[in-house]
Chain A
Amino acid sequence: MEQIYLDHAATTPLHKEVITAMQPVYSEVFGNPSSVHSFGRKARKYLDEARRCMAKSIHADEKEIIFTSGGTEADNLALIGTAIKNRSKGNHIITTAQEHHAALHTIQSLGKQGFDVTYLPVYRDGKISLNDLAKSITEDTVLVSIMYVNNETGVIQPVEEIGQMLKGHQAYFHTDAVQAYGLIDINVKEMGIDMMSVSSHKINGPKGIGFLYASEEVKLNAIQFGGEQERKRRPGTENVPAAAGFQKAVELAMENKVERRELYQSYKELFLKELEVHNIAFKVNGDYNNAIPSIVNISFPGANVEALLSNFDLDGIAASSGSACTAGSVEPSHVLSAMFGKNHECTTNSIRFSFGLANTSENVKEAAAKVAKVVKRLTA
Chain B
Amino acid sequence: MKDKKDTRVVVGMSGGVDSSVAALLLKEEGYDVVGIFMKNWDDTDEFGVCTATEDFEDVVRVCNQLDIPYYSVNFEKQYWDKVFTYFLDEYKAGRTPNPDVMCNKEIKFKAFLDHALSLGADYLATGHYAQVRKNNGKYEMLRGADRNKDQTYFLNQLTDDILEKVMFPLGHLKKEKVREIARDHDLYTANKKDSTGICFIGERNFKEFLSEYLPAQPGEMKTLTGEIKGQHDGLMYYTIGQRQGLGIGGAGDPWFVVGKNLEENVLYVGQSYTNDALYSNALIGTDVNWINADQMPETFTCTAKFRYRQDDSEVSVEQMNDGKVYVEFAEKERAITPGQAVVFYDGDICLGGATIDEIIKDEKTLDYVG
Cα A378 to Cα B44 with chains together (Å): 31
For residue A330, CB closer than 8 A to chain B, the reply is yes
For residue A310, CB closer than 8 A to chain B, the reply is yes
Segment of B48-56, B197-205, B326-334 engaged in the interface with chain A? B48-56
Q: Interface digits, A327-340 against B, CB 8 Å rule (1 contact, 0 not)?
A: 11110000000000
**Which chain B residue lies CB-closest to A377?**
B118
User: Total A-B pairs in contact (CB under 8 Å)?
Assistant: 56
For residue A102, CB closer than 8 A to chain B, the reply is no
Interface residues on A, range: 10 to 19
For residue A134, CB closer than 8 A to chain B, the reply is no
**Which chain B residue lies CB-closest to A348?**
B74
Cα A377 to Cα B119 with chains together (Å): 10
Shortest Cβ distance from B45 into chain A, in angstroms? 13
Contact B34 A314 (CB under 8 A): yes
Residues on the B chain within 8 Å of A326, using CB = 39, 42, 44, 50, 52-53
Contact B119 A307 (CB under 8 A): yes
**Which chain A residue lies CB-closest to B55?**
A327
Cα A328 to Cα B38 with chains together (Å): 9
Given the contacts A307-B115, A314-B34, A329 and B55 also touching, CB distance less than 8 Å: no
**Which chain B residue lies CB-closest to A330?**
B74
Contact A309 B56 (CB under 8 A): no
For residue A313, CB closer than 8 A to chain B, the reply is yes
Contact A325 B72 (CB under 8 A): yes
Given the contacts A327-B52, A327-B55, A327-B56, A306 and B74 also touching, CB distance less than 8 Å: yes
For residue A323, CB closer than 8 A to chain B, the reply is no
For residue A311, CB closer than 8 A to chain B, the reply is yes
Contact B52 A306 (CB under 8 A): no
Given the contacts A307-B115, A327-B37, A327-B39, A313 and B69 also touching, CB distance less than 8 Å: yes
**Which chain B residue lies CB-closest to A311?**
B119
A306, A307, A311, A328: which contacts B70 (Cβ < 8 A)? A328
For residue B214, CB closer than 8 A to chain A, the reply is no
Within 307-323 of A, Cβ neighbours of B (below 8 Å) are at 307, 309-311, 313-314
Shortest Cβ distance from B5 into chain A, in angstroms? 13
Cα A25 to Cα B74 with chains together (Å): 46
Contact B71 A327 (CB under 8 A): no
Task: Count residues of B near A (Cβ-Cβ below 8 Å).
Answer: 23
Q: Interface digits, A282-305 against B, CB 8 Å rule (1 contact, 0 not)?
A: 000000000000000000000000
Within 27-53 of B, Cβ neighbours of A (below 8 Å) are at 34, 36-37, 39, 42, 44, 50, 52-53
Cα A314 to Cα B69 with chains together (Å): 8
Contact A307 B118 (CB under 8 A): yes
Contact A314 B52 (CB under 8 A): no
Cα A236 to Cα B293 with chains together (Å): 71
A307, A310, A329, A378: which contacts B39 (Cβ < 8 A)? A329
Contact A311 B39 (CB under 8 A): no
Residues on the B chain within 8 Å of A377, using CB = 118
Shortest Cβ distance from B197 into chain A, in angstroms? 19
Residues on the A chain within 8 Å of B74, using CB = 306, 329-330
Residues on the B chain within 8 Å of A310, using CB = 34, 36, 71, 73, 119
Cα A93 to Cα B73 with chains together (Å): 37
Residue among A325, A326, A327, A329 with the most chain B CB within 10 A? Answer: A327
Q: Interface digits, B105-132 against A, CB 8 Å rule (1 contact, 0 not)?
A: 0000000000100111000000000000
Shortest Cβ distance from A249 into chain B, in angstroms? 29
Cα A309 to Cα B34 with chains together (Å): 14
Residues on the A chain within 8 Å of B73, using CB = 306-307, 310, 329
For residue B282, CB closer than 8 A to chain A, the reply is no
**Which chain B residue lies CB-closest to A309?**
B71
B interface list, Cβ under 8 A from A: 34, 36-37, 39, 42, 44, 50, 52-53, 55-56, 59-60, 69-74, 115, 118-120
Going nearest first, the 10 A-B pairs with the smallest beta carbon separation are A328-B72, A329-B74, A327-B52, A327-B56, A329-B72, A310-B71, A329-B39, A327-B53, A328-B56, A327-B39
A interface list, Cβ under 8 A from B: 306-307, 309-311, 313-314, 325-330, 377-378
17 contacts between A and B (CB under 8 A): A306-B74, A306-B115, A310-B34, A311-B118, A311-B119, A313-B69, A314-B69, A314-B119, A314-B120, A326-B39, A326-B42, A327-B72, A328-B39, A328-B59, A328-B60, A329-B73, A330-B74
